[in-house]
Structure 1
Amino acid sequence: MNILLIAGGWSGEREVALSGARQIEKGLLTLGHQVTHFDPARDLRGLYEAAAGHEFAFINLHGSPGEDGLVQCLLERIGMPYQGSDSRASLLALNKAVSKQIFEAAGLPTPAWEFVPASHVAEWRPLLPFPLVVKPNTGGSSLGVGIVASEDELEAYLAQPEIAGQDLLAEALIRGQELTCGVLEGCVLPPILIRPKSGEFFDYESKYVAGATEEICPAPIPAELTERLQVMARAAHDALGLSDYSRADFMVTADGMPYLLEVNTLPGMTATSLLPQEAQAVGLSFEQLLTRLIELGLRKRP
């Protein structure tokens, strides 16, 4: 099959997307596919031309564009099938303030939160008590995430150049264990327990520097908690209208109460990424995971 591998983009997660694309390309070539790499940051207007002669698009973009549904929307116009959720569901999932409303309507516990538009950041004072987790409302890979415990720390966080001009989401800090659980149509994936070796949380370096985090799959947690996380991940996937695959992130308190943080519609596919680890735990090699995602994506063929 002739596959257009769309990866890179211009978000802060560009290098992560390109790293995953190299592994995806290697896997697709091993499976006997022909692969053409297309980077929207290089030639966004060339997507129509690049799509000609290809039968499928494999998207490996993080943040915007990619997880915001823009590329998916254009592919839908072209009539090219791709893996993952459609444009509308992608847009809902990337916006943390919107997705949290959907979680709450579905009865899924999520930390108390406030949305702060960029235009109101200068005069914003939190309604929630400290400590807080503050993050860009549509970001990923933990870029721009900060834990603030006082007014002074909040002012220092907001003064960072990378925060300027961004809509923000503030959440009540939930202390406990960090876990993640993937959804793959036709499979029940096991949760992963995440233990960063340094820092307060699973930040960018912890996610992408080899050896920076202990990731245990399947997570050594009670069977009842495993089942609850799997049910919640699936419920969030369905509530957002997602398809094919996704990955939900959780914090679990010491008394076993899970809180849903967010859902990723294009989970990472690097050598250290979480969803491929979960697939491996149920007997799916990386190449078999790619094959399954292509099979699922082909259902979108017009």
Structure 2
Amino acid sequence: MSVETRYQKQFSGNVADFGRVAVLYGGTSAERSVSLQSGAAILNALQEKGVNAFAIDIGEDVCQQLQQAEFDCAFIALHGMGGEDGKVQALLDLMGKPYTGSDHAASALAMNKLHTKQVWQSWGLPTPPYLTLEAELSLETVLDTLGHVFVKPVHEGSSYGVSPARSLAELEQAAAAAKQFDSTVIAEKLIHGEEYSVAVLGSTVLPPIQIKFNGGFYDFNAKYESDKTEYLCPAPLDEQDESILKAIAGKAFRTVGCKGWGRVDFMRNQSGEFFLLEVNTVPGMTSHSLVPMAAKAIGLSFGDLVLEVLAMATNG
């Protein structure tokens, strides 16, 4: 039976108090297509709620775009490099504009899977063993040390450049694919078991979601395109396991310095242990996205959710 989640709403005022809101979306990262979907959904929801919102499709000239725009607050819907890595957040800080989500430092840290894992390890939080793929480290050693692995570029999301490897040939191919997205690549021990995602909204950890998909792994297609992926929300966990999972998610979110909203992803092995994979500081808000699903489980509509996120907007 799911543990009940009580949520204290942040927004109880007049939407006019938000002023003119710029929804920043698009960008130039590999996740541009997802960002366009997220931003469009957020913009539509804000406007339906009566917020004076407009969109800016962020390009290479982001400094000029923001300086020329007239807005009081920014809703960041940028995924990946250039939007989720702290750069836009730092620029908004310099401009004195409040924005949604984590500040530039937490965003930069969370975007770096390697550094995030190191922080979690320093706090004693569970995350799969890993090795950084460096020239002096043979791929044979990686397999001998970790066994089956997931190869990941350090700075990308939406499973871009991520692939499993169970043999030397697969590892060579996976490493080459990942290095197309990032110069720093890690091999993380593959955890066989169930996948979970836990959204955080303010100080509240929302009901966990279990993700079930047919074969392979939870890649871009499974996340955004497939209608065969199943999402169980709340996840079918007993109260003790749900409490453990939510506690780890909340601590993982805080130790990286995140605030506002986000999502923490997990694997659970066959012994029932949870392992942290990554934290997302600007989660997707598409028709397949998980944060709106978790919010709905506690009675928040998509429109209410975006108002809640906007109400927590801060300067840095």
Q: TM-score, normalised by structure 2?
A: 0.89
Is 2:55 the partner of 1:37? yes
Mapped contact 2:139–2:168 kept (Cα < 8 A)? no
Deviations 1:116-171 (A, max 9, x none): 35xx3996554333211101111100111111111111122234486365310111
- Measured after TM superposition, the shift of residue 246 of structure 1 is 1.3
CA distance in 2, matches of 1:175, 1:195: 13
Is 2:81 the partner of 1:64? yes
- Measured after TM superposition, the shift of residue 63 of structure 1 is 1.0
CA distance in 1, matches of 2:125, 2:171: 28
Mapped contact 2:76–2:99 kept (Cα < 8 A)? yes
Letter paired with 2:208: P
Residue aligning to 1:275 = 291
SS at structure 2 position matched to 1:163: coil
Distance 1:179 1:121, change over 3 A: farther
Distance 1:19 1:162, change over 3 A: farther
Residue aligning to 1:137 = 154
- Measured after TM superposition, the shift of residue 193 of structure 1 is 0.4
Distance 1:126 1:71, change over 3 A: farther
Is 2:103 the partner of 1:86? yes
Is 2:109 the partner of 1:104? no
Residue aligning to 1:245 = 261
Aligned residue pairs, count = 296
Mapped contact 2:154–2:182 kept (Cα < 8 A)? no
Distance 1:85 1:159, change over 3 A: closer
SS at structure 2 position matched to 1:38: strand
Mapped contact 2:153–2:162 kept (Cα < 8 A)? yes
Mapped contact 1:177–1:253 kept (Cα < 8 A)? yes
Mapped contact 1:38–1:50 kept (Cα < 8 A)? no
Residue aligning to 1:286 = 302
Unaligned stretches of 5+ in structure 2? 1-18
Mapped contact 2:152–2:163 kept (Cα < 8 A)? yes
CA distance in 2, matches of 1:110, 1:145: 17
Distance 1:97 1:285, change over 3 A: same
Residue aligning to 1:184 = 201
Residue aligning to 1:172 = 189
SS at structure 1 position matched to 2:292: helix
Distance 1:99 1:287, change over 3 A: same
CA distance in 1, matches of 2:38, 2:100: 15
Letter paired with 1:105: S
Mapped contact 2:76–2:100 kept (Cα < 8 A)? yes
Distance 1:154 1:186, change over 3 A: closer
- Measured after TM superposition, the shift of residue 35 of structure 1 is 2.1
- Measured after TM superposition, the shift of residue 33 of structure 1 is 1.5
CA distance in 2, matches of 1:164, 1:21: 23
CA distance in 2, matches of 1:42, 1:164: 18
Mapped contact 1:148–1:154 kept (Cα < 8 A)? yes
Letter paired with 1:82: Y
Cα root mean square deviation, aligned:
1.9
SS at structure 2 position matched to 1:110: coil
Distance 1:261 1:93, change over 3 A: same
